[in-house]
Amino acid sequence: MGALTEKTAEQTTDAALRAGASGGRLDGRTALVTGGSRGIGRGIAERLGRDGARVGVHYGSNEAAAKETVAAIERAGGSAFAIGAELGVPGDAAALWEAFDAHADGLDILVNNAGIGTSRPFADAEESEFDRLFAVNTKAPFFIARLGAERMRDGGRIINISSGLARAAVMPEILTYAMTKGALDVFTQNLSKVLGPRGITVNSVAPGIVDTDVNAAWLRGEENKEAWAGAAAISALGRVGTPQDIADAVAFLASEDGRWVTGHWLDATGGSLS
């Protein structure tokens, strides 16, 4: 079977949106999604909102995008609020939770999604870039989770957004980025043991290539018309991933259905690593 066309992939996503709505199963719960204003983060925030959670939509700099995500959740009948905090700087986690506390009195679901997505090749790597990548992709989630655990009710959920590159050296030109996600996975496994006695599950979800605005330049750019087909061919399912694909995997782990899964790395690459 040949690769699905871009149009077919979008139709598949529309069907998933209709089928994936299961409002109510997260009623009464409060979630925070870092980097929730765009791309995968927005998809996750909207899905958790449809499932009944009240969603904190974090943004680093694009307040307008965060407000639009909040508005989309509210239009669908959900509840949400936007909070801004720059990550990768001293005191970032404390600032984020101070903003969160102004809107909510507790936490049930934390999704560490915010991250920087590229890095230079090994021969060109600079110390400042290395430090910045680890500050945003690894250090920030660590301390956001540490302070978040103080606010999280027993039986809560922590879901870290990793990457297929943490398990396969298919893009060695951005190895520093892959390293940050590998460290995040080690954190996930160990934190599951630390918080397990409280009934809190901790898992990683690893996307592959996903059609987001961050990837739009090379996936849809006129200068590289074959990029979409090449990206689709990497997946065993013959298409490029969507934010909804990742959001649905996160929603499972956030729900009661995922109660017996912890310390796990969930491959959400569409079979790109097989």
Catalytic residues: 162-163, 177, 181
| Amino acid code (one letter) for 142 | F
Q: State the Cα–Cα distance between residues 191 and 201, nearest whole angstrom.
A: 9
Tokens at residue 227, please? Answer: 């990029």
Tokens at residue 127, please? Answer: 């110390």
Helical residues (DSSP H) of 55-196, grouped into ranges: 63-75, 92-101, 127-134, 140-151, 175-195
Reported in sequence order, the residue ranges of the chain that DSSP labels E, i.e. its strands, are 30-33, 54-59, 79-84, 107-112, 152-161, 201-207, 265-268
| Amino acid code (one letter) for 145 | A
Phi, psi of 31 (to 5 degrees): -120, 155
Q: State the Cα–Cα distance between residues 156 and 258, nearest whole angstrom.
A: 11
Q: State the Cα–Cα distance between residues 205 and 164, nearest whole angstrom.
A: 9
Phi, psi of 147 (to 5 degrees): -75, -30
Burial environment of residue 163 by CB neighbours within 10 A (0 to 12, 13 to 18, 19 or more): buried
Burial environment of residue 213 by CB neighbours within 10 A (0 to 12, 13 to 18, 19 or more): exposed
Tokens at residue 33, please? Answer: 């999604």
Q: State the Cα–Cα distance between residues 187 and 52, nearest whole angstrom.
A: 28
Q: Chain centroid to CA 46: how far?
A: 12
